[in-house]
């Protein structure tokens, strides 16, 4: 993208994030639970605002003439990368229940990050970290069951150690 497009995309993303936070601020709580249904939209809105601010503030990723920067790894144009991303998302959806969130998500994220950045080591490390954080937030903090799949026998031992929840069989195995 050119610098002007980066700034516009960043501004739109930041405004959309702010709109998401404002639109969901009045969601009703869930009993006495400290975390309500407004937490996820709030976090996503903050992430959108942060990403938008980074796009607005960052230096140009390509020369101002609009041509690609040869020193920058990442996706080249065409349908190949798009088809790979769609195939990865479809494979993730099909394999999620039998293999489990913690098994299926890191390879998908690592592949997508590798395609976008060209840095396999960083992609794998970030994919594992993001998967772990998402699992703790969604399954531990929000109490939304995620499929354990192959790791179902370890679930009662893993979740209490990670977030201090009571032991027991996971709701979705």
What pLDDT does 164 receive? 47
To which residue do tokens 């930041």 refer? 14
Rounded-to-integer distance, Cα 144 and Cα 30, Å: 13
* Per-10-residue mean pLDDT, the chain, length 173: 75 86 77 69 85 82 53 60 83 90 93 86 93 85 83 79 48 47
Contacts of 148 (CB under 8 A, 6+ apart): 100, 101, 102, 154, 155, 170, 172, 173
Domain parsing of the chain, residue ranges: 1-63, 81-168
Helix (H, G, I), strand (E, B) or coil at 122: helix
Rounded-to-integer distance, Cα 164 and Cα 170, Å: 14
* Cβ–Cβ under 8 Å, residues 44 and 14: no
Rounded-to-integer distance, Cα 105 and Cα 103, Å: 6
Rounded-to-integer distance, Cα 173 and Cα 167, Å: 14
Cβ count within 10 A of residue 109 = 21
What pLDDT does 165 receive? 46
């Amino acid at each position: 993208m050119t610098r002007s497009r980066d700034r516009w995309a960043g501004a739109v993303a930041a405004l959309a994030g702010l709109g998401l936070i404002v639109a969901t601020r009045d969601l009703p709580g869930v009993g006495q639970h400290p975390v309500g249904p407004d937490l996820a939209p709030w976090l996503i809105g903050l992430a959108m605002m942060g990403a938008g601010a980074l796009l607005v503030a960052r230096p140009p990723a390509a020369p101002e003439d609009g041509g690609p920067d040869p020193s920058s790894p990442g996706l080249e144009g065409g349908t190949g990368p798009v088809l790979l991303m769609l195939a990865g998302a479809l494979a993730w959806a099909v394999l999620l229940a039998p293999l489990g969130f913690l098994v299926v998500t890191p390879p998908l994220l690592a592949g997508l990050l590798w395609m976008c950045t060209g840095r396999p080591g960083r992609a794998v490390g970030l994919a594992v970290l993001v998967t772990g954080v998402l699992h703790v937030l969604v399954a531990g903090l929000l109490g939304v069951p995620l499929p354990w799949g192959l790791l179902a026998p370890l679930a009662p031992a893993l979740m209490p150690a990670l977030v201090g929840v009571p032991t027991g069989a996971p709701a979705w195995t």
